[in-house]
Amino acid sequence: MNGQQEQQERWLSRCLQIGFVLVLLLLWYLGTTYWGISGILLPNPVMVLHDLKEVLGSGEFLPDLEVTLFEVAVAFALSCVSGLALGYLISRSPYLIAVFEPLLSSVYSIPIILFLPLFVLFFGLGPWSKIALGATISFFPIVLNTIAGFRYVDRIFITAARSMGASNAQMFRYVLLPAALPVVLTGLRIGFTIALLAVLGSETIASFAGLGHRIAQLADAMETVRMFAYITFAVAIAAGLNALVSSLERQAKRR
Amino acid sequence: MRLTVIAGLLAFWEAAARWWVDPQFLSPPSRVFLSLPSLFDTQGVPAALGIAFCEFAVGFAISAAIGLAVGLAIGLSRLSRRSFMPIILLLYATPQITVLPLFILYFGIGPASKIAFGVSHGIFPIIVTVVAGVQNIRPILIVAARSMGAKRWQIFRWVIFPHMIPSFFAGLRLGMAGVLLGVLLAELYVSTAGIGYFTQMFTESFDPTKLLGLISVLALMAIAFNVALRRAEIHFARWRQN
Amino acid sequence: MTIGDVAIRIKDVSHQFGEPGDAQFVRVLQHASLDILRGELVCLIGPSGCGKSTLLNVIGGLIRPSSGTVEVGANLIHGPLPREIAFVFQENALFPWCTIIDNVRLGMVFQGVSKDQHEDRARTSLEAVGLSEFMRYYPEQLSGGMRQRAALARALSLETNILLMDEPFGALDEQTRMILGEDLSVLLARTAKTIVFVTHSLGEAVFLADRVAIFSARPGTIKATIKIDEPHPRKPGFVTTEKFAQLRNQLYGLLHDEIRKGVEFTAVMGPDS
């Protein structure tokens, strides 16, 4: 396809995209303003926008945001440290890899959110049950990626370094670590995203604070306008954090 | 060897629950296992499990159908791919958990909301993999078919569709995990009936035995689905050495 | 550049992978013996699978042979000897996360060279292979030929007496091989290193070597050696001389049957037997 056709297509697809989204927004607006869709089910987008501005202006969101961010930060820190350490140790021995990698993969394949009630039993409804769950779930992509990263270092690099007399410490620092880094960083990014999702999810289900809890609370009270505002806010925060982490990952991968 | 590790973990669990941890918080696997019959005797538990199973099955079927349909609709034309895939990917990336209360508000606390939430998690990986499967066919295959006089629908039926099937199955596996997650999240959230009711009850009454029992049954169900789907995938994707 | 006493003594080296009865059991080397003199460039040539790369790894201490010994100077080889022996591998063994000059410096870090010497040695060796301009590039930004030059620079910067090269130009096209071969000859004429060079190419062997050691088919042993009596640095014109053609034909004659045997063996027993 030549340059001109390519440009045309790109322009056209952009239009379709934006058009599609605009149509949806328009329907939303018309539906709630003129066509009588109950405001309790689907609030008016203009009202939601107003409410969002109010929430942001008053700083009402702060305590909940703090709780959520705290839980995510601690959960991620825990899973990072344990995932990286265990991942590296396991990767050192083919025997350990053969034993643990399939085990860890299979556990990862069941929805670990199932264990939330157990964590609530242990830790109560406070932040620690969310932290425990978040740490547990995000542990898996980190440990699995760390194992893979160190395990698949091309043999030729190890052989070459050995032939030049590299010590074990030098081998780790100059060969294994940089070679494994891209895969490990990806694991960390995935781990963060999952920790965030796990925390939000467990807050929604069983908590007395945090953004997830707030949304659930507002739903219970049928305050749909404010709920929509908070949903928008939460999605924006999540998108922002994920974008931040992705860009950190990209930067770290660039030499 | 793996079995020894599993056995070792179970033994550790057993020891920890017996001697180290307050029995209010943890039960040894032996007791959990033995108390399973009484768990099933508890009024409403088998029904809750059964309903969850059905919600999952229905949700999965709907996801597969919608995912395939939407995936094909978007995937077959380059223009629609370029236009709509970014939207799909954006939706795929949003934390859907934030709208769980909304789903419950809309669909009520019955099975409908659980199925809907499951579907909303399951369709995205399926759409993405179907689009990829349609998109990455080597152009030479289509050229060859056309050179032999194949019409458009024939190319779809005999070239594009079979080529996409292995990707579809890979997507089904991811979709299944999504539906499972969605259904479970919704079930856990609704604490007035179903699984969520019992998890809350067992938690509040500090009954780790029954709680672990329930969780184990659900976990086993998840594993069983996973294995079944993996078998199906291998069976249908035999010709691809991807 | 004079050739002196024995630098590397390979005594009766045999090597097998696996145990008899294993599915993957294979005997690659059988009683290989050779004396390599100081300052000599010896090419190891032979059919595929004859064990020449294995022997190179044994000399360098990367593999412990099933039986037999290798002596380098006064040392019996049982592990890498980075101060005496440097490698250039066929595969791209440059670290992709380091620039070219960092790759060269890293080699010296491993060997234990004191830091103040790193910069000078690195620059000198990169200049010697003609890569001064590309010091700060990453391996993936360079062509195959340039990458192998960089690998050579890394090996040279280690200032070892012995250089082991395992089909270093194997992955390159014919024209690049020619150029690199000529440059290598010029470079080596200046230093006094002992070099063992594994290759598949008859022309390359005759052009570069002082002696060519011919391997038999697997299990490999050193069947014969041919002396190439031509002063270094070898001129590009050497390739067109009568002498070159004769030596090449001689080599071909010795090698051909072994190659045939290797191929037939593979055809009957399967590729990984």
pLDDT 10s digits, C122-156: 999 999 999 999 999 999 999 999 999 999 999 99
Domain encompassing residue B13: 1-34
User: How confident is the model at residue C1, as a pLDDT?
Assistant: 42
Q: Which residue has the higher pLDDT, C188 or C129?
A: C129
**Interface contact flag, B2 A122, Cβ < 8 Å:** no
Residues A137-156 have a mean pLDDT of 95
Q: Which secondary structure element, helix H or strand E, spans residue C188, and what is its range?
A: helix C174-190
Q: Which amino acid is at A164?
A: M
d(CA A174, CA A168): 10
What share of chain C in percent tops pLDDT 90? 51
Which residue in this structure is represented by tokens 């939460």? A234
* Model pLDDT, residue B36: 86
The number of C-beta contacts closer than 8 angstroms across A and C is 55
pLDDT at C110 over 50: yes
Task: Let me know whether C126 and C171 are in one domain.
Answer: no
ipTM value: 0.88
Q: How many angstroms separate the CA atoms of C188 and C185, rounded? A: 5
**Which has more pLDDT, B55 or A253?**
B55
- A-contacting residues in B 98-127 (Cβ below 8 Å): 98-102, 104-106
CB-nearest to A255 from C97, C109, C110 is C97
CB-hemisphere CA count at 13 Å for B56?
A: 23
pLDDT given for residue A212 in this prediction = 95
Selecting from A98, A116, A235 the residue whose C-beta is nearest the C-beta of B95 gives: A235
Q: Is B3 on the interface with A (CB under 8 A)?
A: no
- On whether both B164 and B75 belong to a single domain, the answer is yes
A54-77 pLDDT tens trace: 999 999 999 999 999 999 999 999
Residues C142-176 as b/e (b if ≥16 CB within 10 A, e otherwise) read beebbbbbbbbbbbbbbbbbbbbbbbbbbebeeeb
Residue B13: pLDDT band (50, 70, 90) is confident
Average pLDDT taken over every residue of chain B: 88
Which are the contacts of C27, defined by CB distance < 8 A and separation ≥ 6?
C14, C15, C16, C218, C219
What pLDDT score was predicted for residue C133? 94
Residues B40 and B107 in one domain: yes
Mark whether B and A touch (3+ CB pairs within 8 Å). Answer: yes
C128 shares its domain with C14:
no
Is C53 domain-assigned?
yes
Q: Do chains B and C touch (3 or more CB pairs under 8 A)?
A: no
Beta strand C26-37 with C6-17: parallel, antiparallel or unpaired? antiparallel
What's the pLDDT score for residue C265?
59
Give, to the nearest 10 degrees, the angle between helix B45-75 and helix B161-189. Answer: 140
How confident is the model over A19-37, as a mean pLDDT?
A: 89
Closest chain A residue to B174, measured at CA: A109
Residues C166 and C54 in one domain: yes
Residue B111 and residue B202 in one domain: yes
Residues linked to residue C195 through DSSP beta bridges, in sequence order? C41, C163
β-pair type (C41-45, C194-199): parallel
Q: How many domains does chain B have?
A: 2
State the Cα–Cα distance between residues C153 and C149, nearest whole angstrom: 6
CATH number of the structural domain spanning residue C182: 3.40.50.300
Same domain, residue pair C167 and C257 = yes
Residue A212 contacts B where some CB pair is shorter than 8 Å:
yes
Please indicate whether, in this complex, the C-beta atoms of A239 and B93 are within 8 angstroms of each other. Answer: yes
Listed ranges A201-205, B10-14, B152-156; the one with the highest mean pLDDT: A201-205
Q: Are residues B97 and B164 in the same domain?
A: yes
Q: Please indicate, yes or no, whether residues C61 and C152 belong to a single structural domain of this protein.
A: no
Chain C partners within 8 Å of A167 (Cβ):
110
Q: From chain C, pick out residues whose CB is under 8 angstroms from the CB of A164.
A: 80, 82, 86-87, 106-107, 110-111, 158
Res B30 pLDDT > 50: yes
Q: Tell me, what's the pLDDT at B241?
A: 46
Residue C179 inside a domain? The answer is: yes
CA quadruple B190, B195, B200, B201: dihedral sign? positive
Candidate from B79, B80, B101 with C-beta closest to A215: B101
Same domain for B224 and B111: yes
**To which CATH superfamily is domain A58-253 assigned?**
MetI-like (1.10.3720.10)
Contacting residues of A for B206, CB less than 8 Å apart: 121
Are residues B102 and B193 both part of a single domain?
yes
Residue C92 domain flag? no
CA angle at C43 for the pair A162 and C178, rounded to the nearest 5°: 95
Q: Is residue B151 part of a domain?
A: yes
Whether C79 is covered by a domain: the verdict is yes
Choose among A217, A187, A244, A229: nearest CA to A69. A244
Do residue C139 and residue C15 come from a single domain?
no
At B196, the pLDDT band (50, 70, 90 cuts) reads very high
User: Is C86's CB within 8 Å of A159's CB?
Assistant: no
User: What DSSP assignment string belongs to A136-179?
Assistant: HHHHHHHHHHHHHHHHT--HHHHHHHHHTT--HHHIIIIIIHHH
Mean pLDDT over all residues of chain A?
Answer: 92
The rounded percent of chain B whose pLDDT value lies above 90 is: 48
CATH number at B217 reads: 1.10.3720.10
Q: Which of A157, A160, A178 sits opposite C87 (nearest CB)?
A: A160
Of A17, A120, A242, the CB nearest to B83: A17
Whole-number mean pLDDT of chain C?
88
> Where do runs of H (alpha helix) occur along chain B?
2-15, 29-34, 36-41, 45-75, 78-93, 100-107, 111-135, 139-147, 152-155, 161-189, 194-204, 208-236
> Which residue, B204, B96, B180, B13, is CA-closest to A112?
B180
Q: Which of the four pLDDT bands, split at 50, 70 and 90, describes residue A165?
A: very high
Q: Do B184 and A113 lie within an 8 Å CB cutoff? A: yes
Domain that holds residue C30: 6-84+160-269
Considering only CB atoms, A118 lies closest to which of B94, B95, B212, namely B212
The answer, for A125 touching chain B at a CB cutoff of 8 Å, is no
β-pair partners for C88: C165
pLDDT above 90 as % of chain A? 80
Q: Locate C97 and state its tokens.
A: 């996360």
Question: Residue B241 falls within a domain, yes or no?
Answer: no
Residues sharing a CB contact under 8 Å with residue A81, sequence separation 6 or more, in sequence order: none
Q: Which pLDDT tens digit goes with each residue over B75-121?
A: 988 899 999 999 999 999 999 999 999 999 999 999 999 999 999 99
Residue A123 confidence class, pLDDT cut points 50, 70, 90: very high
pLDDT value of position C273? 43
B158 and B145 in a common domain? yes
**Structural domain contains residue B242:** no
Confidence of residue C266 (pLDDT cuts 50, 70, 90): low
Query: Does residue A93 sit at the C interface (CB-CB below 8 Å)?
Result: no
Tens-digit pLDDT profile for residues A79-101? 999 999 999 999 999 989 988 99
Q: Which of A197, A111, A138, A137 is nearest to B180 (CA)?
A: A111
d(CA C132, CA B165): 53
Mark whether C147 and C171 lie in a shared domain: no
Given CB atoms, is A174 within the 8 Å cutoff of chain C?
Answer: yes
pTM exceeds 0.95? no
pLDDT computed for residue B242 by the predictor:
42
Does residue B103 belong to any structural domain of this protein?
A: yes
Does one domain contain both C126 and C259?
no
Q: Are residues B98 and B134 in the same domain?
A: yes
Provide the 8-state DSSP code for B157.
Answer: I
Are residue C112 and residue C210 in the same domain, yes or no? no
C60 shares its domain with C171: yes
pLDDT at B238 over 70: no
Q: Tens of pLDDT along A98-116?
A: 889 988 988 888 899 999 9
Query: What pLDDT digit, counting tens, does each position of C239-257 carry?
Result: 999 999 999 999 999 888 7
**Chain B interface includes A207 (CB < 8 A):** no
- Calpha distance C31→C14 (Å, rounded): 5
If one counts the domains in chain C, the total is 2
Residues in Cβ contact with A73 at an 8 Å cutoff, skipping those fewer than 6 apart: none
Range in A161-175, A183-197, C8-22, C259-273 with the lowest mean pLDDT: C259-273
CB–CB of C199/C192 below 8 Å?
no
